[in-house]
Amino acid sequence: MQKTAQEPSPTKHLVATYLSDVKSKVDACIFDFLPTTHKHPDVHQLYQMMLDYPRRAAKGLRPALCMLMCEAFGGDTQRAVNTAASLELLQNWLLIHDDIEDGSELRRGEPCLHQKHGIPMAINVGDALHCKMWEMLHRNTEILGHQLAFRILSEFIQLSNQVVEGQHIELSWVNDNRWNLDEDDYLTMCIQKTAWYTCITPCRVGAIIGGASETEIDGLVELGKELGVAFQIQDDVLNLIGDVGRYGKEIAGDISEGKRTLVLIHLINACSSAEAQNVIDIMARPRNEKTEAEVESVLRLMQKYKSITYAQQRSQALLQEAAGRFKNNFEHLPDGQAKQLFFSLIRFFVEREY
């Protein structure tokens, strides 16, 4: 029987199945760990709010990279589940705070936590999940032993420092109303804010648990940078042309929020000076002072100057660089399921629709 256009490709099906399997294991670990009830009604409410983002539909890419790297280097993936779950907790508390800082409206298809409960309550929930992340990492002493658990903890410390520095760069652009940015500015911010927690650290901690050498672990940094930036560029693209039902966030929300994306940077540098000034005037205003027509006008210019296409091409190029780097630097690893899945998963980074 001929395959219809709607049927998923074997590669996408393979990735979807693996992601679902990892997500099930990680969710079981998280929901077994997080508290759910308390005799004090206000603390009970906090516990329920802490479960909000973890219960929402998510891809689970970071835990998947962790588990894949562990398997690729010959490790027991069961020993990596707790660390993978810690990466998911990290993702959730970061998103709660990021949504507040960006003034976002939707997250994973539902109103952001601060939209539902107010900013102070949401900040505290993010703080609570942050605390639980470190507590979960502490449990690694029982799973991995003190020395290895401390090594993983150190990786999370490095990751946390990178992320807040990257976030500060982006927030400073907003605070200083800065628009004279180039692609290198974007890449620097993106590597620190996104690549470290999306790819570099997940790959490194999985490899560490899997027994990789120091040279192999260090070799994952450049690979993770390329993958992480490719992932973020695709996320920026989906924000502009994705389907809200699949993407789970507000379409063109980056324009409403005044985000400095690669697409926007390309547009400002490609269009006429008059158009650029008009775009900046729109982007610089707060969300509630932008009209829907103004947001649409920026989006049309992005299409006119092929800024979205340019970003897609850069994402694809970075993906090819990452795939080539992994093939060359880790050719010695056994040709098993983990290797095949890794190549399939990194393609998913830029082919995904959500």
- Sign of the dihedral through C-alpha 152, 156, 157, 159: positive
Rounded to whole angstroms, the Cα distance separating 127 from 120 reads: 11
Rounded to whole angstroms, the Cα distance separating 223 from 217 reads: 11
Higher pLDDT, 251 or 123: 123
Higher pLDDT, 279 or 10: 279
The partner residues of 107 in beta bridges, in order of sequence, read 110
pLDDT digits (tens, 9 = 90+) for 73-130: 999 999 999 999 999 999 999 999 999 998 889 898 899 999 999 999 999 999 999 9
Rounded to whole angstroms, the Cα distance separating 333 from 325 reads: 13
pLDDT of residue 6: 44
The answer to whether 310 and 266 have CB atoms below 8 angstroms apart is yes
Closest CA to 263 of 282, 290, 235: 235
Residue 251, pLDDT > 80, answer no
Burial state string for 266-282 with b = 16 or more CB within 10 A and e = fewer than 16: bbbebbeeebbebbbeb
Rounded to whole angstroms, the Cα distance separating 193 from 229 reads: 10
What pTM value is reported for the model? 0.91
pLDDT of residue 10: 63
Residues 6+ apart with CB under 8 A from 131: none
> Residue type for 163, please?
V
- Lowest average pLDDT, out of 35-49, 242-256, 327-341, goes to 242-256
Distances (CA, A) of 131 to 49, 78, 125, 127, 148: 15, 23, 10, 6, 20
The answer to whether 156 and 201 have CB atoms below 8 angstroms apart is yes
- Lowest average pLDDT, out of 65-74, 166-175, 229-238, 337-346, goes to 337-346
- Lowest average pLDDT, out of 14-18, 46-50, 117-121, 166-170, goes to 14-18
pLDDT of residue 335: 85
pLDDT of residue 314: 96
> Whole-number mean pLDDT of the chain?
92
Residue 189, pLDDT > 70, answer yes
Residues 6+ apart with CB under 8 A from 333: 72, 73, 339
Q: Which helix (H) or strand (E) holds 294?
A: helix 292-304
User: Which domains does the chain carry?
Assistant: 10-351 (1.10.600.10)
The answer to whether 88 and 26 have CB atoms below 8 angstroms apart is yes
Higher pLDDT, 352 or 82: 82
pLDDT digits (tens, 9 = 90+) for 33-47: 999 999 999 999 999
Residue 20, pLDDT > 90, answer yes
Rounded to whole angstroms, the Cα distance separating 84 from 92 reads: 13
The answer to whether 59 and 109 have CB atoms below 8 angstroms apart is no
Cα dihedral angle (319, 348, 14, 156), rounded to 10 degrees? 80
The answer to whether 256 and 250 have CB atoms below 8 angstroms apart is yes
Closest CA to 162 of 197, 210, 126, 112: 197
